Amino acid sequence: MDKLDSLELIFEGFNAVKAAICGIESGITSRTVVRVLFSKKRLIKKGYEYSWLKTRSVRHGYDIVLCDEDDVSSLCATETHGGIVGIFSPRVPGNAEALCDFAKRNNRGWFLALEGIEDPYNLGFSIRSAYAFGCAGVVLPKRYIFGADGVVCRSSAGASERIPFFRCDLSDAVRRLKGEGYGICAACEKNAVSLSDHPLSLPLVLVIGGEKRGISSALLAECTDYIRIDYARFAGSSLSAVSAAAVMAYEIAEKNGLLIKND
């Protein structure tokens, strides 16, 4: 059984491992590849995957360990790893200063700020939608711990490794971005404008809170606009944060001409 360092993170399956390596190569993340475990019994059927990983191993200086399937499974939380698991160092998210510098260079873009969304699956689903609709970066609370990156990667279909992350005090972050000319749009019900009626002009930050506590009063106070999603019937409850992120991200992309038409 392979033993992990306390700071090493598991990425299950070829797609997640590939996404993490591509994130390193594109400069999006500062990870390093520690090693990759590859089940010996998968070599014949997964020749392409082995070849791809082997080529990158020369470039990045990691070992591919050929092992029994049980050795791979012992590191994984699921049985859908396909005989491949990657071990990586944590990514180092940008701070508030890095966020502002990046925002200045992307002053016609939009950011997603998430508060209270701590489940890695929900985080990954939200990032997947945001990335698909042109989000420039994700801003997370200072207390967020990057310990389930592999789960976030799989649930986001690799998008989490293709987009910059920033970790900082959210109130301070949006205050700084306001100073750079960004609109700060909070997803909430009280005193809110319908999503369909708001121009969602860029640059902007979309702020979404978790289902339990929503957006904190301190962060709401820093927002410039409040937007809500209208429903076709009285639903009795609001959409989940994941669903709200998808709907609002689409509207931002549609209203700013970011959608790629497949006519």
39-64: average pLDDT: 96
Q: In whole numbers, what is the pLDDT of the chain averaged over residues?
A: 93
- Tell me how far CA of residue 202 lies from CA of 167, 171, 180, 220, 254, in angstroms: 22, 20, 12, 19, 12
Confidence of residue 69 (pLDDT cuts 50, 70, 90): very high
- With a cut of 60, say whether residue 1 has pLDDT above it: no
Q: Where are the alpha helices (DSSP H) in 156-216?
A: 170-179
Structure-token pair, residue 61 = 């200086």
φ/ψ of 51, rounded to 5, equals: -60, -45
- With a cut of 70, say whether residue 96 has pLDDT above it: yes
239-263: average pLDDT: 94
- With a cut of 90, say whether residue 236 has pLDDT above it: no
Contact 256, 200 (CB under 8 A): yes
> What are the residues whose beta carbons fall under 8 Å from the beta carbon of 102, sequence distance 6 or more?
94, 136, 137, 164, 166
**What's domain 9-88's architecture?**
2-Layer Sandwich (3.30)
- With a cut of 90, say whether residue 200 has pLDDT above it: yes
Which helix (DSSP H) or strand (DSSP E) does residue 167 occupy?
strand 165-168
Confidence of residue 70 (pLDDT cuts 50, 70, 90): very high
CA 222 from chain centre, in angstroms, equals: 23
Cα torsion angle, 160, 166, 169, 175, sign: negative
State residue 4's pLDDT score. Answer: 59
Query: What does the pLDDT look like over 178-191, one tens digit per residue?
Result: 999 999 999 998 88
Domain ranges of the chain: 9-88, 96-255
8-12: average pLDDT: 94
Pick from 145, 143, 227: which is nearest to 188 by CA? 227
Structure-token pair, residue 106 = 């992307």
Nearest-angstrom CA–CA distance, 99 and 164: 9
Total number of residues shown for the chain: 263
Confidence of residue 263 (pLDDT cuts 50, 70, 90): low
- With a cut of 60, say whether residue 229 has pLDDT above it: yes
Query: What does the pLDDT look like over 127-174, one tens digit per residue?
Result: 999 999 999 999 999 888 778 999 999 999 999 999 999 999 999 999
Cα torsion angle, 28, 33, 39, 43, sign: positive
- With a cut of 80, say whether residue 202 has pLDDT above it: yes
Nearest-angstrom CA–CA distance, 36 and 261: 38
State residue 145's pLDDT score. Answer: 76
120-127: average pLDDT: 96
State residue 193's pLDDT score. Answer: 96
Q: Where are the alpha helices (DSSP H) in the chain?
A: 14-25, 47-60, 69-73, 96-105, 120-132, 149-155, 170-179, 217-222, 241-255
Confidence of residue 2 (pLDDT cuts 50, 70, 90): low
- Please name the fold of domain 96-255: Alpha/beta knot (3.40.1280)
What 3-state DSSP class applies to 145?
coil
- With a cut of 90, say whether residue 3 has pLDDT above it: no
Percent of the chain exceeding pLDDT 90 equals 83
